[in-house]
């Protein structure tokens, strides 16, 4: 019975927040819109494949798509991959689905990972904690 009263008390304290009148999906929609805008901004900006060692992951994707080297990719100079292959595999699958290699295929897995991380953080921040339920 006391646990029930504690939950009711915590629930009544949480109902007074201004965010209770907002739809529950609004923060997630806001994160999705911001992520889509940032991805669009990245796509419309000048490409930076030659900056910060970005040509190597792109060459790994090309090696997978053009040569079929799914397990062990090589870069443009013939060196074996220096990065874990999951990102390369995701980019290659997106490239195969699109039918051609473009900058969006190379950036989409990273953008989706950033969106997923932001969604997990948002979900963790919105979840009630044990300390907020205590009297």
Residues 76-128: tens digit of each pLDDT: 888 898 888 999 999 999 999 999 888 899 999 999 999 999 999 998 888 77
Task: Tell me if 114 is assigned to some domain.
Answer: yes
Mean pLDDT of the chain: 82
- φ/ψ (deg, to 5) at 92: -65, -40
How far apart CA 27 and CA 128 sit, in angstroms, is 16
**31 close to 115: Cβ distance less than 8 angstroms:** yes
47: left (phi over 0), alpha (psi -120 to 50) or beta: beta
Task: Tell me if 4 is assigned to some domain.
Answer: no
Task: Tell me if 55 is assigned to some domain.
Answer: yes
Range(s) of the domain holding residue 110: 24-133
Which tokens is 94 given?
């997106």
| Model pLDDT, residue 27 | 87
Task: Tell me if 109 is assigned to some domain.
Answer: yes
Contacts of 35 (CB under 8 A, 6+ apart): 111, 114, 115, 118
Instruction: Count the domains in the chain.
Output: 1
| pTM above threshold 0.75 | no
What number of other Cβ atoms are within 10 A of residue 104's Cβ?
15
Q: Indicate whether 37 pLDDT > 80.
A: yes
**43 close to 35: Cβ distance less than 8 angstroms:** no
By 3-state DSSP, what share of the chain in percent is helix, strand and coil, each rounded to 5? 65, 0, 30
| Model pLDDT, residue 121 | 93
| Model pLDDT, residue 82 | 82
Task: Tell me if 12 is assigned to some domain.
Answer: no
């Amino acid at each position: 019975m006391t646990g029930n009263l504690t939950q009711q008390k915590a629930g009544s304290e949480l109902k007074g927040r201004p965010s209770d009148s907002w739809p529950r999906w609004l923060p997630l929609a806001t994160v999705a819109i911001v992520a889509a805008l940032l991805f669009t901004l990245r796509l419309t900006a000048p490409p930076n494949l030659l900056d910060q060692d970005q040509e190597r992951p792109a060459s790994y994707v090309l090696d997978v798509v053009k040569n079929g080297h799914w397990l062990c990719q090589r870069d443009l100079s013939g060196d074996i991959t220096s990065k874990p292959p999951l990102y390369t595999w995701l980019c290659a699958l997106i490239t195969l689905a699109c039918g051609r290699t473009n900058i969006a295929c190379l950036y989409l897995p990273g953008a989706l990972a950033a969106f997923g991380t932001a969604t997990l953080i948002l979900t963790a921040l919105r979840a009630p904690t044990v300390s907020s339920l205590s009297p």
